[in-house]
Amino acid sequence: MRKGFVEKLHGLKSAFLAEEKERASPQKSASEKSAKKAVRGLLTWPAMFQGTVIAWRSPVRNTRLLIAYLPGTDPQDPLALVNVLVRDNRNFLPGMECPVVQVDERTYELVGPCPARRGRWK
């Protein structure tokens, strides 16, 4: 009984491999390839925010996070605050403008280096 089971498995494996070879063998024409490239060119990523945010708070326990708000919004409103991923938040002071790129809906990432000294970029 065991021998018959193993033979069935080998038969299934060879049948599967034969199907894979048939699928891979047909050559696609140049027009099909160029059409796929054209479709890929039409698909674009959604526009992400690229600009500056204003630092609001630096959490003590998580030094890789900076709480900031977008210019023109009220920092007292908790829904206006966003998270900025930084290498080290110790040298950021409230009110500093930071260049960022949007990563997620409410998450941004700092572009460029962190401040070298407390409150100073250079």
State pLDDT tens for residues 17-31. 666 665 655 555 556
Q: What is the pTM for the complete model shown?
A: 0.60
User: Residue 100 in contact with residue 76, Cβ under 8 Å?
Assistant: no
State the average pLDDT over residues 97-114: 92
CA distance 121 to 104: 25
User: Residue 100 in contact with residue 53, Cβ under 8 Å?
Assistant: yes
Per-domain residue ranges for the chain?
2-42, 50-110
Is pLDDT at 37 greater than 60 in this prediction?
A: no
CA distance 47 to 99: 17
What's the CATH number of domain 50-110, 3.90.79, 2.40.50, 2.60.40, 2.50.20? 2.40.50
